[in-house]
Structure 1
């Protein structure tokens, strides 16, 4: 079995198509994802909002200026960048899109925005919310002064906390980006592409398809021993390729996918084993030619990747809403969900369920493949 394992590894290393689809293609696609999604993420991230403030000496104006100063601290977390100026200069700044709005702090505080500046619509909405919050807080303070003056100090302190500069709070184990799910699905696709190795393994043990398989059939080595050695070599080699692609995405591209590195590697190994077993099954029962078997494999794998969200991020949720059973048996969805769970949840129950399902599928595919292979007999070779 050692010699079978050794020479199977050497044969796999020479397979350039295998190296391309499992290692090079995911890395190239990952780089393209990184470039595309980095620009989108940058445009969607929050930045300090530049505003102009025109005020007088009224009580309302002084109160609003105090709030504006609290929101425009000098660190990087400031919500506002306030420019105090006259009305004429403020309008010029707004017209030149150097500010997203003008606050007029007088007896009544009002907001003016540029309706044509569609690129700053989110910032304009935030400014409107701030203005509304100012009036709510002002009315609350006035009511407390009249009815419960003893609570004024505590209320003032709590209101100051609500207008303190923004603070980023993570609700998950890591700083998860919205677009990380595409990289989860990318690794899932790379794992499923290892079915190519399973197809090749099945073909090399079908005596009516290759001369190598014919020689194996008449050799003294037991068929199960030969298949087990080749399968072990295939799982090891292709798991290493997937792990290299995974490390490139994590270390070079900087994607948050390794919060639990050992469990992530275990996921890759089991996913690879499942996919190779699936490839073996296709190699045993699919079309006779290797090209036909490979086409069938891609015809199954790519729809699985589409349904898991590789091409459209919301697709998995659509499937979960209408046909949740598909997500329970779709290997691409199971693999990507394993990574999602590992990087976002403390509870590993969902991860364990997904991994167990992949393991059962791997055993099932391999068992059926062995039964089909053992039953094949040849009248002549």
Structure 2
């Protein structure tokens, strides 16, 4: 009997084309639009070598220190992940002016009773070049002062030590994956899709209520315990919604190439917990709100989108604002918890933060399910 009712509810759910659109096609369409909108964000942030020119005059040829500094800045440090700072072109002053006018270079360096930097406009690239020149001149001035006061420092190799530019700091990645602000939008999208599973939970509770449908009237006079009916309906809704979430996950990972890290099992586990949370939330809304189906759907959509907004779906800094100003709201927001689970797995792997989020989601599942069942069990009808 249980299996028969389960299969029957699956067939009824699959035939609802309107809800299938909102729970499956809409998130996929939104993910595609996100991909179009955000595809060039990370590329725009990558550093590219700056094109500069150096006037190759007699004074420059005599300044071996500047020559070595420019060559060092143009070449990589030997690390395959470290590129040189500049692309250098050696020109005359007239050619440098022409290249600058044609915007083929960001600026040029020439020596005429001192080092001079010529640029056409101010900007980030020009500030980088100026920073390099300022550093060189400060270092040169310091070395001149030291050598003037202590000529023996030349014999101790002070120039070689200065050029070595030893770095006593070691760069350590704060997470297992490189930072990417774009992936958080897609994690929010999955969280929103999980909460949209509330459509199925709402539909199943509406079916059970005798005052809202003839089907509900027949179910209520059937010799089946309401708890069993509730379990069958929720299980069918979770099955369909989980299948849709896994399809969305596959589309994001395999088609759009969104990275989720290497914890595949925990990612799927998060999808399962998120799906159950969304379905039980919809069932909770349907049982608490004593209005028609249209009002219930409106409340469900409004609350789901509000949760998604507070989780950072529309404004990426909102999640940070909530976590720093009113962190309790973050723990009361299922969409934020689901997003944070994916975020934790991607950046830090399996850690305490992930299990806390999962634990709070499980508390929500128990709360929504228990409240829904208690409300449905108390409902009585004068006539059917």
TM-score, L = length of structure 1: 0.90
Deviates most, 53-62 or 101-110: 53-62
- Give how far 1:209 is off: 0.6
1:98-113 superposed matches below 5 A: 98-105=104-111, 108-113=114-119
- 1:205 corresponds in structure 2 to 208
85 and 240 in structure 1: CA distance in 2 versus 1, 3 angstrom threshold? same
67, 72, 82: which one aligns with 2:88: 82
Show structure 1 runs of 5+ residues with no match.
163-167
Q: Whole-Å Cα distance in 1 between the matches of residues 114 and 26 of structure 2?
A: 61
1:364-375 superposed matches below 5 A: 364-375=367-378
- Counterpart contact for 2:185–2:313, Cα < 8 Å: yes
Q: Whole-Å Cα distance in 1 between the matches of residues 84 and 14 of structure 2?
A: 55
- Give how far 1:275 is off: 1.2
- 2:189 corresponds in structure 1 to 186
141 and 244 in structure 1: CA distance in 2 versus 1, 3 angstrom threshold? farther
- 2:228 corresponds in structure 1 to 225
154 and 88 in structure 1: CA distance in 2 versus 1, 3 angstrom threshold? closer
- 1:165 corresponds in structure 2 to none
Q: Whole-Å Cα distance in 1 between the matches of residues 37 and 119 of structure 2?
A: 31
**Which whole-Å deviations, capped at 9, do the CAs of 1:247-283 have from their partners, x for residues lacking one?**
2112211222233221111111111111111110111
87, 92, 95: which one aligns with 2:98: 92
- Give how far 1:343 is off: 0.9
219 and 187 in structure 1: CA distance in 2 versus 1, 3 angstrom threshold? same
Secondary structure at 2:54's aligned position in 1?
strand
**Which whole-Å deviations, capped at 9, do the CAs of 1:326-376 have from their partners, x for residues lacking one?**
111111111111111111114611111111111101110100000001111
Q: Whole-Å Cα distance in 1 between the matches of residues 74 and 188 of structure 2?
A: 41
- Counterpart contact for 1:61–1:106, Cα < 8 Å: no
**Which whole-Å deviations, capped at 9, do the CAs of 1:155-201 have from their partners, x for residues lacking one?**
24632879xxxxx9854212332222111111111111111111001
Deviates most, 199-208 or 32-41: 32-41
- Give how far 1:40 is off: 3.0
363 and 144 in structure 1: CA distance in 2 versus 1, 3 angstrom threshold? farther
Q: Whole-Å Cα distance in 1 between the matches of residues 351 and 158 of structure 2?
A: 47
1:158-197 superposed matches below 5 A: 158-159=164-165, 170-197=173-200
- Counterpart contact for 1:194–1:276, Cα < 8 Å: yes
How many residues align? The count is: 372
Root-mean-square deviation (Å)? 2.4
Q: Whole-Å Cα distance in 2 between the matches of residues 67 and 84 of structure 1?
A: 15
1:65-76 superposed matches below 5 A: 65-73=67-75
- Counterpart contact for 2:199–2:282, Cα < 8 Å: yes
Q: Whole-Å Cα distance in 2 between the matches of residues 24 and 61 of structure 1?
A: 66
Show structure 2 runs of 5+ residues with no match.
none
- 1:9 corresponds in structure 2 to 10
245 and 61 in structure 1: CA distance in 2 versus 1, 3 angstrom threshold? farther
281 and 256 in structure 1: CA distance in 2 versus 1, 3 angstrom threshold? same
Secondary structure at 2:74's aligned position in 1?
coil
TM-score, L = length of structure 2: 0.89
Q: Whole-Å Cα distance in 2 between the matches of residues 105 and 236 of structure 1?
A: 74
- 2:64 corresponds in structure 1 to 62
Q: Whole-Å Cα distance in 1 between the matches of residues 211 and 158 of structure 2?
A: 90
- Counterpart contact for 1:286–1:293, Cα < 8 Å: yes
- Give how far 1:318 is off: 1.9
- 1:376 corresponds in structure 2 to 379
- Counterpart contact for 2:263–2:349, Cα < 8 Å: no
Q: Whole-Å Cα distance in 2 between the matches of residues 331 and 244 of structure 1?
A: 21
